[in-house]
Structure 1
Amino acid sequence: MNNEIYKLTSAQPLTEAFIHRTDDRIIDLFGYHPGEEQAWASRLDSLAARAGARANASDVAAVLTAYQARLKPSAETASNIAAIAEGAPVVVGGQQAGLWTGPLLVIHKAVSIINAAKSASAQLGRQVVPVFWIAGEDHDWDEANHAYVLTAEQELRKLSMARPEGARTCVSRTSVSAEAWEQQLRELEAALPHSEFKGPLVEELRDMALHSSSLSDMFAALLGRLFGKEGLVLLDADDPALRRVEAPMFKQMIERNDELEQAYVRTAEQVKTLGYTLQADVVAGSANLFLFQADKGDERTLLHKHGGSFQDRKQTLSITKDELLQLAESRPEQFSNNVLTRPLMQDYLFPVLATVLGPGEIAYWALTGGAFRMLGMEMPIIVPRMSYTLIEGTVAKHMQKYELTFSDVMERFEDRKADWLKQQDGLSIEGQFDSAKQSFIELYKPLLELATSVAPSLAKLGDTNMQKIVEQIEYMGSKTVDTFNKQFEASIRQLDRIGLSVKPAGKPQERVLNMVIYWNRYGLNWLDKLLEAPYSRTGGHEIVHL
């Protein structure tokens, strides 16, 4: 199992075609390919040629420094921000803030950003900075408010935080009280198994909670703690100071909004013509920008164009282009990007050498190429994030004991588990009950025919009677098998632990489990295993043994 290679399946045909270069027609959608070494040098040259069109690097670095100051930044992160001030290229990727960082794929993305930056630095012979873009402007609370952990009883438990009362604003503007944090900490502490790291872990989280007024704050504090030594630079997309630096780009997006819309529409048609499904909505009349309505508790509202003005979907808000431009100048913090304009803003703020994306993100970034070109910009190198499955020592031993490969667990675990139990059945219990059932049916059929010949009305009664007896035989057989299997309860628990650890809730580990499980069991040593695992610029899946 140690040397097993396994490919996690992706539900994104466009992404798969891009990564593996199986469809030459989609090259124009992306431009660069991460697997081509020359692409990295070419993109670096392109960034140098466009330096004057981006935000001032010193201004961006000043915002990053101020934001990081709240997070007790590491010396490595401070050094990387200083490099950004001098114009250093970056590798950027991001995610919505999640409770205790959310599913493991968030950690995988951070590791991928860091390793992509290291790989680029080694090739290009210059400092490339890893940047994590916290999408604090997103307002889907239900995506952010939970985490799954494994309890001491080997149960998968969902820990979730209720949404505070108030307007439907973004995650970074949704206040979390000290009482709410303490409740979450108590629930987490009760759920986690006892370990030597549990006490210090909970106390670290409690200290972070004292300085966290939102999920985004806690998310940033955790990422800073986990990856500070790697120099990971953090930003919150909803940082008001960052918005002020972004103001010129917001104005450009408003001025040229019709052109942008047409660029998205044309690219969407191109994607559909190529036979691929759109992974982001391209809606006619959409401005692809959000506005926070201060008079409605900062409710985040998507803007649409109608009758020469910008309106919300219900047309209760109406604002002219000139008014929007004035607002972008005076109060840029009221604006927010959507999934189609965020890539443009990212490239305006930073000299983005490459961006690390998940499968779904790569598919919707395909819609942005025309918009980049329309603004005289160029899509950065798209780098698929790595995925990992963590295999603990005990789980590995159990897999070896039951002769299970990784693919067995991922693709046919319940069948293999059932087969193992059947192999222990030296009495052939299921077979004997099946045989008895068939024998009964054969014996009963002539009697049913006899009863029907006496009175046809007895046919239905006889058939019902036969089915009841068959059901009773099956019930007795099932109870006998269950009773027999109880002697293998220890083995069943071991098998169930394999399933819960590797494929919880029937899904890849990275999409369910939270990182605190491993912090609680191993301290932070498990992170080093991830950072040291083989890395590929074209993504892939690695099995990491802890």
Structure 2
Amino acid sequence: MATGKREVTGSAMRKETYSLRSAQPLTEAYIHRTDERIEALYGYHAGAEQDWDKRMNRLQTSGSMRAEAGAVASVLRAYNDKIGAASQVFAAIADIAEGAPVVVGGQQAGLWTGPLLVIHKAVSIIRAARSASEQLGQKVVPLFWIAGEDHDWDEANHAYVITAEQELRKLTTARPEGARTSVSRTAVLAEEWEHQLAELEQALPSSEFKPVLLEELRHMSQKAHSLSDMFAMIMSHLFGEHGLVLLDADDPAIRQLEAPMFRKMIERNDDLEQAYTASAEQVKELGYSLQADVTPGSANLFLFHRENGDERTLLHKKNGLFQDRKGQLSLSTEELLRIADLQPEQLSNNVLTRPIMQDYLFPVLATVLGPGEIAYWALTGEAFRTLGMEMPIIVPRMSYTLIEGTIAKNMDKYELTFEDIMERFDERKEQWLKEQDGLHIEQQFAEARDTFEQLYKPLLELATSVQPSLSKLGDTNLQKIVEQINYMGSKTVDAFNKQFEATTRQLDRIHLSVKPQGKPQERVLNMSAYWNRYSLTWLEKLIDAPYSRTGGHEIVYL
């Protein structure tokens, strides 16, 4: 995630900063306002305080264009009651019923909540809502949009934890047989939850909090019929006292409220397609690459094809009809409109229409997005305007790295900075080992190799003078002997380094914790390891860490 430099939190001794940048040039340009040409793509800017007032004023005059707040609140109340939400959540839903604006962000449901970045997004939503409440002097509700309608099981079905043996382990749940329907509609049976809990129990190191953690998850699993259910209950448990309201986008009751907007999206589908195409051309003309497909003829809507096991099927337009790619499904505009009116639970948004649907359901003051999301939201501005709507404020998600006490201690021991780990770990590790080599092994073998080559060359010249054809044989012989010297040197260095196996393990443990698989921690590790070791104090440290509306990276010491 693109960030500015800031001090780390949670350690009085450390004052290190680090800027963790994204690979999205468009996102970087938006956050840092380095390209004024892209302001037309987004409109508002999270870092401009006056834009929050402007957006709030806009929401107050556009209520007639949205779903009825009381009806939305009723659906939210039923869903959050089902997942066991805290009293603070129902107070927030009451505020929504009264027309309170929301800060929304979302993610696909993942096993045990998936990678840490999901937690970071929830924290960012809560902090952005608090920040806006303070500025505007009124309640702003944090809302997490679970993208339960998504059907990419391989993105949702796994979690990575570091085991007691200091190994990275991938926990995975297999997709049940059947059509590729949404994650929320894919049933996970009780025996599979028991298997997953056993896997998690085996993977997590022993701790004083482990029995309580496992019992909490086991209790949830008894009520969870899908990954989305379990995800929602865990997130509600973690963030309920902070008033985070949860919503499953595949909730049939939500679909009923969305029916009027689905109808509008179908009736204005050609206009929306032109809008997405125009925005895509504008992004390309500005020199940026597209982060979402804008496909000619795409309806940007999915249909759950009931005759094919509720398979989530992307709709395309051809010869005045809405069809799947293979032409096995074919609907007229009137037939699709009838579905929107009578069976809206059969319809589903894609990444380009979801932003519009969010803004129809809620008075969205701002939306919290990751780097890739910020880039593809640039394609939606013209579509919002086509429907007489307006893109909300885009708030970059905060990013964090959690540093445990033993990791911080070993970083100090080996004089490693956070930047060292992120950018030059192998080099610093090798440097440390070389510094321990009082015998100068590599140097001695290099000197021996050079000396041998100098002694051998006159002999090679002598052999060549006796018989020129011996030149090639001599060169080959020289190379083989040099290779053997190098081999012996390498084996000697390895033997020497074995004295430092404990050190090597400590260094590798630092890297595994901070940059697993060579990626930022938030993109790989699951939160369960921290819950297991620290109960929920680690989460409070994230929520209490410094916050910026334009995103950032915080190194949080536990």
Amino acid at match of 1:300: R
- Counterpart CA distance in 1 for 2:467 and 2:339 is 89
* Structure 1 match to 2:70: 58
- Counterpart CA distance in 2 for 1:253 and 1:120 is 31
- Counterpart CA distance in 1 for 2:81 and 2:350 is 28
* Aligned: 1:253 with 2:265: yes
* Structure 1 match to 2:311: 299
- Counterpart CA distance in 2 for 1:102 and 1:448 is 64
* Structure 2 match to 1:191: 203
* Aligned: 1:340 with 2:352: yes
- Once the two structures are TM-superposed, the CA of residue 74 in structure 1 deviates from its matched residue by 0.3
- Once the two structures are TM-superposed, the CA of residue 316 in structure 1 deviates from its matched residue by 1.6
* Structure 2 match to 1:67: 79
| Residues 293 and 453 of structure 1, relative CA distance in 2, 3 Å threshold | farther
* Aligned: 1:102 with 2:80: no
- Counterpart CA distance in 1 for 2:460 and 2:219 is 76
Runs of 5+ in structure 1 lacking a partner?
none
Which secondary structure does the structure 1 equivalent of 2:291 belong to?
Answer: coil
* Structure 1 match to 2:10: none
| Residues 465 and 180 of structure 1, relative CA distance in 2, 3 Å threshold | farther
* Aligned: 1:499 with 2:511: yes
Which secondary structure does the structure 1 equivalent of 2:526 belong to?
Answer: coil
* Structure 1 match to 2:214: 202
Which secondary structure does the structure 2 equivalent of 1:173 belong to?
Answer: coil
Which secondary structure does the structure 1 equivalent of 2:170 belong to?
Answer: strand
Q: Map Cα deviations across residues 449-471 of structure 1 (whole Å, 9 max, x no partner).
A: 44444444444443333332222
* Structure 2 match to 1:518: 530
Q: Map Cα deviations across residues 248-296 of structure 1 (whole Å, 9 max, x no partner).
A: 0000000000000000000100000000001101011100001110111
* Aligned: 1:270 with 2:282: yes
Amino acid at match of 2:505: R
- Counterpart CA distance in 2 for 1:423 and 1:503 is 24
- Once the two structures are TM-superposed, the CA of residue 445 in structure 1 deviates from its matched residue by 2.9
- Counterpart CA distance in 1 for 2:82 and 2:356 is 27
TM-score of the superposition, structure 1-length normalised?
A: 0.98
* Structure 1 match to 2:98: 86
* Structure 2 match to 1:535: 547
* Aligned: 1:153 with 2:165: yes
* Aligned: 1:38 with 2:55: no
Which residue, 365, 368, 371 being the options, matches 2:383? 371
* Structure 1 match to 2:332: 320
Amino acid at match of 1:393: G
- Counterpart CA distance in 1 for 2:462 and 2:162 is 60
Runs of 5+ in structure 2 lacking a partner?
1-12
- Counterpart CA distance in 1 for 2:110 and 2:429 is 34
- Once the two structures are TM-superposed, the CA of residue 200 in structure 1 deviates from its matched residue by 1.1
Q: Map Cα deviations across residues 345-391 of structure 1 (whole Å, 9 max, x no partner).
A: 00000000000000100000000000000100000000001001111
* Aligned: 1:442 with 2:454: yes
- Counterpart CA distance in 2 for 1:288 and 1:271 is 19
Which secondary structure does the structure 2 equivalent of 1:88 belong to?
Answer: coil
Amino acid at match of 1:230: H
CA RMSD of aligned residues (A): 1.1
Which secondary structure does the structure 1 equivalent of 2:149 belong to?
Answer: coil
- Once the two structures are TM-superposed, the CA of residue 68 in structure 1 deviates from its matched residue by 1.0
- Once the two structures are TM-superposed, the CA of residue 438 in structure 1 deviates from its matched residue by 2.2
* Aligned: 1:489 with 2:504: no
- Superposed counterparts of 1:426-465, under 5 Å: 426-465=438-477
* Aligned: 1:469 with 2:481: yes
- Superposed counterparts of 1:158-169, under 5 Å: 158-169=170-181
- Counterpart CA distance in 1 for 2:69 and 2:448 is 81
- Once the two structures are TM-superposed, the CA of residue 9 in structure 1 deviates from its matched residue by 1.3
| Residues 428 and 303 of structure 1, relative CA distance in 2, 3 Å threshold | same
Q: Which shifted more, 453-462 or 85-94?
A: 453-462
- Once the two structures are TM-superposed, the CA of residue 195 in structure 1 deviates from its matched residue by 0.7
* Structure 2 match to 1:4: 16
Which secondary structure does the structure 2 equivalent of 1:179 belong to?
Answer: helix
Percent of aligned pairs with the same residue?
73
* Aligned: 1:231 with 2:243: yes
* Structure 1 match to 2:415: 403
| Residues 160 and 460 of structure 1, relative CA distance in 2, 3 Å threshold | farther
* Structure 1 match to 2:7: none
Which residue, 150, 173, 177 being the options, matches 1:138? 150
Which secondary structure does the structure 1 equivalent of 2:495 belong to?
Answer: helix
* Aligned: 1:420 with 2:429: no
- Counterpart CA distance in 2 for 1:446 and 1:299 is 78
* Structure 2 match to 1:508: 520
* Aligned: 1:222 with 2:211: no
- Counterpart CA distance in 1 for 2:357 and 2:66 is 10
* Structure 1 match to 2:3: none
Which secondary structure does the structure 2 equivalent of 1:10 belong to?
Answer: coil
- Counterpart CA distance in 1 for 2:485 and 2:226 is 59
* Structure 2 match to 1:311: 323
Which secondary structure does the structure 1 equivalent of 2:184 belong to?
Answer: helix
* Structure 2 match to 1:281: 293
Aligned length: 546
* Structure 1 match to 2:9: none
* Structure 2 match to 1:173: 185
Which secondary structure does the structure 2 equivalent of 1:518 belong to?
Answer: helix
- Counterpart CA distance in 2 for 1:288 and 1:380 is 20
TM-score of the superposition, structure 2-length normalised?
A: 0.96
- Counterpart CA distance in 2 for 1:403 and 1:280 is 43
* Structure 1 match to 2:394: 382
Amino acid at match of 2:342: S
Which secondary structure does the structure 2 equivalent of 1:172 belong to?
Answer: coil
Amino acid at match of 1:505: Q
Which secondary structure does the structure 1 equivalent of 2:424 belong to?
Answer: helix
- Counterpart CA distance in 2 for 1:364 and 1:445 is 64
Amino acid at match of 2:535: G
- Superposed counterparts of 1:17-28, under 5 Å: 17-28=29-40
- Counterpart CA distance in 2 for 1:451 and 1:113 is 79
| Residues 291 and 456 of structure 1, relative CA distance in 2, 3 Å threshold | farther
Which secondary structure does the structure 2 equivalent of 1:310 belong to?
Answer: strand
- Counterpart CA distance in 2 for 1:279 and 1:466 is 55
- Counterpart CA distance in 1 for 2:240 and 2:285 is 45
Amino acid at match of 1:6: Y
Which residue, 165, 171, 194 being the options, matches 1:182? 194
Which residue, 314, 334, 351 being the options, matches 2:363? 351
- Counterpart CA distance in 2 for 1:177 and 1:448 is 76
